[in-house]
Structure 1
Amino acid sequence: MKHLSLLLALALGLVTAVSAGPTVIECWFVEDADGGRLAKKPAALLLRQGPGRIPPRPDLDPKRYLRVHDPTGTLQAAFRRYPRSAPTPHCEMSHYIPLPASVNWVKGLTPEQSCPRALDGTWFMVSMSSPVLSLSSLLQSQTEPQPDPGLITMATAVLTVITHNPTTRIQLGQDALLDLSFAYMPSTPEATTPLAPGPPPFGLEWRHQHLGEGHLLLAATPGLRGQMPAAQDGAVAFAAWDDDESWGPWTGNGTLWLPAVKPSQEGAYQATIYLPYLQGQVTLELAVQKSPKVSLMPSPLVWAAPGEAPPELVCLVSHFYPSEGLEVEWELRGGPEGSFQKAKGQSWLSALHHHLDGSVSLSGHLQPSPVTTAQHGARYACRVHHPSLPALGRSAEVTLEVAGLSGPSLEDGIGLFLSAFLLLGLFKALGWAAAYLSTSKESKKKAQ
C-alpha cells in the first residue's frame, strides 16, 4: 500500500510538473541600431525558479535575462494552460518609456503634467504570440539589491494584456466574441491615480484594420466621465474590472462582441488598454467563412449510349465565403472492377455570382468523354474543397446508365410482383362489388 501511495504521489508530481508550463521563455531583444535599422539580440524570461540558485545563462547579457515577478499570476496561468503540442510562442522584448496617452478621449487618466516618481526606473515591453495566445506585458525593473548581482535582472509584471483566442473563425452572419482580459498591479500604491483605494479608471480601445484601411471601432473609459466616440458596426465591449480589492492586484475584461458578422468585418483587431502612463496592446485576427452547398445536375441518372458522351454535368457550388481557395474536382467512381479515377473530359468554372449577404456562388461544368459498356453503373462525382470544409471536402454524385444494359433488378421484380398482386386484388374486389350490386337489383325487382 505504501508503494502504491508513493507511485501515486510521484505520478501526480510528474503531472504537475508537466502542466506547470515552461520555466523559461526565449525572446529577442529588439532595439534601434545605426542607419535606422533594428538590432535583435537573444534574451530570456525566467518565469519560475526551482529550489537553489538562479539557473545560469552565460550566453546572455544579464540586462537581457529577466527574472519575472508576476503578482497577478496572469503570466503563470497563461503558461500553465499552454498546450504541450502548441508551437513555442514568438517573444520580443524592447525598452519602454511611460508616457501619457496620445488620444484625446483618455486624457482624463493623466490630469497631472508629469509622470509620478513611482514609475521611474527601467521598463521593458514584452510581446508574445502563438496560435493559442497573444499577450503584451509591461515589466518594471526592481531597484532593490539583486540576490545574485551580475547574473540576472529582477523585474515585476505591472500590466499584462492577453487573449487566448488570437485567431477567431466565425460563420458568416453569426455573432463573434473577441476574447480580451488584462491584469494590473502597481509597483507601489503611489503609482495609482485615484485618491480612494480600489481599481483605477482605465481606457479600452478597439480598432479594426482590413485591406489597408483602419478605423476606431469602439472606445470606453470605465470610471471616467467624458464624451466617447460612437461605436461602429454595433460593437459592444464588456469593459470592467472583475474585482475591487483595495490595493490590487486587479483583473479586468475587455471582450468585444460583434453581432451578425459580415465579410467586411474580417481582418485585424487591435485592442489597447490605457492606464495612467501605461499602455498594453494585442492584435487579434477575425476570419469570416461560410461552407458551400454542393449539388450535381442532371440527377439522379445520366444516360448515354456506348461510344457516346453523356450530357454535360453541372456542379452547383452555392453560398460560400471566401471566394479564394475553392477547388472543384471531377471523379469517376465504381467503373471497371470498381476503380476510382479522375473523370476524363473538358471541365471549366463559371464566373462568381455575388449575394446580398456577401457570400458567392459558382458552377463547375464537365463535358465527359464517350463512355464504354464497362462503365455502366459507375458514378460521376464532383468534389469541392474550400477552407471552411474538412480536408476531404464535400461531394455530390450521379449514376451513369449505359443504354441497352439496364435490365430489371431484384427490387424491380419485387415491385412488379407486389403491383400485380395489388391489381389482382383490386380486380377481384371490383368483381365482387359488381356481383353484389347486380344481385341487389334483381331482389328489388322480384319484391315489386
Structure 2
Amino acid sequence: MKSLSLLLSVALGLVNVVSAGPAAIECWFVEDAGRGSLAMKPAALLLRPGPGGPPPRPDLDPKLYLSVDDPAGTLRSAFRRYPRDAAAPHCELSSFIPLPASANWARSLTPEQRCPRALDGAWLMVSISSSVFSLSSLLRQQPEPQQEPVLITMATVVLTVLTHTPGPRIQMGQDAVLDLSFSYMPPTPEAASSLAPGPPPFGLEWRRQHLGKGHLLLAATPGLGGKIPATQEGAVAFAAWDDDEPWGPWTGNGTIWLPAVQPFQEGTYLAIVHLPYLQGQVDLELSVYKSPKVSLTPAPLVWAAPGKTPPELLCHVNHFYPSEGLEVEWELRGGPEGGSRKAEGQKWLSSLRHHSDGSVSLLGYLQPPPVTTEQHGARYACRVYHSSLPASGRSVEVTLEVETVPTYSQMPTLIPLPSLDHPHIPFSLHLSTVAYLTTCKDLKEKKTQ
C-alpha cells in the first residue's frame, strides 16, 4: 500500500509540474497605423482553458483572444517552469504573410517560388521576450471566433523558435554557446501529406547587429545543395532535426558556438529559422565583461611623520571591460575612530588607457591629508565597483606607519661629562654621548663655564 501511495504522490507531483505556469499570456497586437506610426490593441493567448472552459474576456476583440493549440508543446513547455517571482514576459502579436526567404542562399528551400494553397489563411507571429527565455511562434488562426461557451478564436502553433539564453554575459576570452531550438508541425493534414515523410528541409541563419551595423555570421541548409556564405569568426552551429517522425511534430537544434569571445562581438544576435515560406526569429543580447585587477602603491607600508602628508597613493585598476560604470572609492580603516569611513584628501582619476584586446585600464589617485601619531597602524583602502564584480566590489589596502616622538621615559641615560679640554677625548664623542647638547650655542656655553 505504501508503494501505491508513493506512486500516486509522484504522479500527482508530475501533474503539478506539467500544469504549472500561467494559464494565459497578456499581449499587444501591433499593426501599422500609417504615416510611420503604430497602433496597439490588447490581446491574450490562452494556454490552458481550465476545468470551467475559457474565461470570458469582454475587454478583448474576439479575434485577438486566442485559444492556443500547441501540437509540438514547445510554447507551453517554455512557460511550465517560468519562475513565479520573475517579471511578466513582454508579448507582441503581428500579422504574418507566408513568403519565400529573401536570402539567395536559402532559395533552395522554395525552388518553385509559389506559396502552396495549404498555407492560405490568416497568420500571426507571436514574439515573447523575458529574462528567462525568448521565443517566437507562428500561429494559424481559424477564420471566425467560436461562439460557445465564450467568444474566442482558435489558433494552432505551426513553428516555434526558442532560446534559453536571451541575455548571455560572456567573460572576455571565453567561448560562448548560444542555445537555439525549434519545433514544427504542418498546419493541416493536407500540408503534411503533400510533403515527403519526415521533417522538411530548413535553413538556419545567425546575424549580429552592433552600433548600427550588421553582418551574417553563419548560414546553413542541412541536407540541401547550394552555395552557402563562408562562416565568420570561427562560428560553428549544431544545425539538425532531432527526430525523423514521418508526419511530425519535429524538433530541431540551431545552437551556435563562438570561440574566445572579444568585445567587438557583443551586440544583438538574430537567430532565424527558415522553413518553406515560413520564418521564425529570436533576438539575443550578448555582452562581454572582464573583471579588473586591482593593486595599490606604494605598498606594503605608507610612511609619514606627524603633521606631514603621506606619499600620494595610486590605485591601479587594470584590464577591465566594459569601460563604463567603473567607480573608485577610498576608505580609511582603523585608527583612533575605528571602523571604516570615507577617506579625506584630494581624489581624481586618470584617463583610460586602451589595450589591444579591447580592455582598458586607469589609475585612481589619493593625496591624503597630514597625519597624526594616533593614526599609526590605520589602513588606507581602495575599493573598486564594476559590473563585472560582486556588489561589494573589490578592495586592496596598505598600512599607515607614523613616526613616533620618544617620551621622557624613553630618553637615553646620561653619563658624566668628561672635561671638554681633555686632549685624548675626540670632540665627536662628546656629541654622541651627551643628548642635551644639540646646538652650537650649547657647546659654546659649555666651554665658557
Instruction: Please state which band the TM-score falls in when normalised by the shorter chain.
Output: 0.7 to 0.9
Counterpart of 1:394, as a letter, is: R
Distance in 2 (CA, whole Å) between partners of 1:111 and 1:149 is: 44
Q: What is the letter of the counterpart of residue 360 of structure 1?
A: V
Quick check: 1:376–1:405 contact (8 Å CA) kept in 2?
no
Q: What are the within-5 Å matches in structure 2 for residues 237-248 of structure 1?
A: 237-248=237-248
1:225 is matched with 225
Q: Which residue of structure 1 aligns with residue 389 of structure 2? A: 389
Per-residue deviation, 1:337: 3.3
> What are the equivalent positions in structure 2 for 1:77-156 lying under 5 Å apart?
77-142=77-142, 146=146, 148=148, 151-156=151-156
1:242 and 1:250 in contact (8 A); partners too: yes
Which ranges of 4 or more aligned residues in structure 1 deviate by more than 6 Å? none
Partners of 2:149 and 2:180 in 1: CA distance:
37
Partner in structure 1 of residue 355 of structure 2 = 355
**What does 1:386-425 align with in structure 2 at a 5 Å threshold?**
386-404=386-404
- Is residue 73 of structure 2 the alignment partner of residue 73 of structure 1? yes
Distance 1:386 1:76, change over 3 A: same
Q: Residue in 2 aligned with 1:60?
A: 60
SS in structure 1 of the partner of residue 264 of structure 2: helix
1:47 equivalent to 2:47? Answer: yes
Matched-pair contact (CA < 8 Å) for 2:209–2:268: yes
Equivalent position of 1:185 in the other structure: 185
Contact kept in structure 1, 2:105 and 2:226, CA below 8 Å = yes
Structure 1: 5+ residue runs without aligned partners?
Answer: 408-448
What's the secondary structure of 1:337's corresponding residue? coil
CA distance in 1, matches of 2:78, 2:406: 66
Residues of 1 paired with 2:266 and 2:195: CA distance?
42
Give the Cα separation in 1 of the matches to 2:295 and 2:270: 40
CA deviation after TM superposition for structure 1 residue 289, in Å: 0.5
- DSSP-derived class of the 2:168 partner: strand
Distance in structure 1 (CA, Å) of the matches to 2:287 and 2:319: 17
Structure 1 pair 194–18 and aligned structure 2 pair: CA distance change class (3 A): closer
C-alpha contact (below 8 Å) 1:180/1:254 kept by paired residues: yes
Instruction: Using the TM superposition, give the Cα deviation of residue 369 of structure 1 relative to its aligned residue in structure 2, in angstroms.
Output: 0.7
RMSD of aligned C-alpha atoms? Answer: 2.5
CA contact (8 A) 2:17 2:80 kept: no
Number of residue pairs aligned between Structure 1 and Structure 2: 405
Contact 1:19 1:81 in 2 (8 A): no
Alignment of 1:284-303 (within 5 A): 284-303=284-303
Q: Supply the distance in 2 between the matched residues of 1:260 and 1:374 (Cα, whole angstroms).
A: 52
Q: Is the 8 A contact 2:210 2:268 kept in 1?
A: yes
Q: Residues 161 and 273 of structure 2 are in contact (CA less than 8 Å); yes or no, is this contact kept in structure 1? A: yes
Q: How much has 1:184 moved relative to structure 2?
A: 0.4
What is the distance in 2 between the residues matched to 1:310 and 1:326?
Answer: 26
SS in 1 for 2:337: helix
Tell me which protein shows more helix as a share of its residues.
1
Aligned partners of 1:364, 1:71: CA distance in 2, in Å? Answer: 60
CA distance in 2, matches of 1:399, 1:9: 62
1:337 aligns with 2:337: yes
Deviates more, 1:261-270 or 1:9-18: 9-18
Aligned partners of 1:19 and 1:177: how far apart in 2? 30
Q: After the TM superposition, which of the residue ranges 50-59 and 295-304 deviates more from structure 2? A: 50-59
Residue 394 (structure 1) shift? 0.2
CA distance change for structure 1 residues 109 and 386 in 2, over 3 Å: closer, same or farther? same
Q: Secondary structure at the match of 1:121?
A: coil
Separation of aligned partners in 2, 1:179 and 1:405: 68
Q: Name the counterpart of 1:416.
A: none
How far the C-alpha of 1:35 sits from its partner, in A, is 3.5
- Rounded Cα–Cα distance in structure 2 between residues aligned with 1:380 and 1:186: 69
How high is the TM-score relative to the length of structure 1?
0.85
Between the aligned partners of 1:158 and 1:81, the Cα distance in structure 2 is 22
Separation in 1 of the partners of 2:201 and 2:356?
A: 42
User: Over residues 390-433 of structure 1, what are the superposed CA-to-partner deviations in whole Å (9 max), with x where a residue is unaligned?
Assistant: 011000000111101799xxxxxxxxxxxxxxxxxxxxxxxxxx
Please tell me whether the aligned partners of residues 63 and 144 of structure 2 are also in contact (alpha carbons under 8 angstroms).
Answer: no
Report the Cα offset of residue 125 of structure 1. 0.6
Q: Matched residues in 1 for 2:218 and 2:21: separation? A: 35
Aligned to 1:410: none
* Alpha-carbon shift at residue 9 of structure 1 (Å): 5.4
Indicate the larger mover: 46-55 or 235-244: 46-55
Partner of residue 430, structure 1: none
Q: Distance in 2 between matches of 1:257 and 1:38?
A: 37
Residue in structure 2 matched with residue 414 of structure 1 by the alignment: none
Q: 1:163 maps to which residue? A: 163
Task: Map Cα deviations across residues 371-406 of structure 1 (whole Å, 9 max, x no partner).
Answer: 112211110000001100001100000011110179
Task: After TM superposition, give the deviation of residue 203 of structure 1 in Å.
Answer: 0.6
**Aligned twin of 1:35:** 35
Shift of 1:18: 9.2
Distance 1:113 1:242, change over 3 A: same
Residues 1:16 and 2:16 aligned together: yes
CA-CA distance at 1:170 after TM superposition: 0.6
SS at match of 1:336: coil
CA distance in 2 between partners of 1:193 and 1:39 (Å): 39
Shift of 1:10: 12
CA distance in structure 2 between the partners assigned to 1:303 and 1:406 by the alignment: 17
- Tell me the percent identity: 75
Q: Deviations over 1:170-207 (max 9, x none)?
A: 11011001111111001124435985300111011111
Q: Take 1:41 and 1:111, find their aligned partners in 2: how far apart are those partners?
A: 38
SS in 2 for 1:338: coil
Give the CA deviation at 1:351: 2.1
Aligned match of 2:263:
263
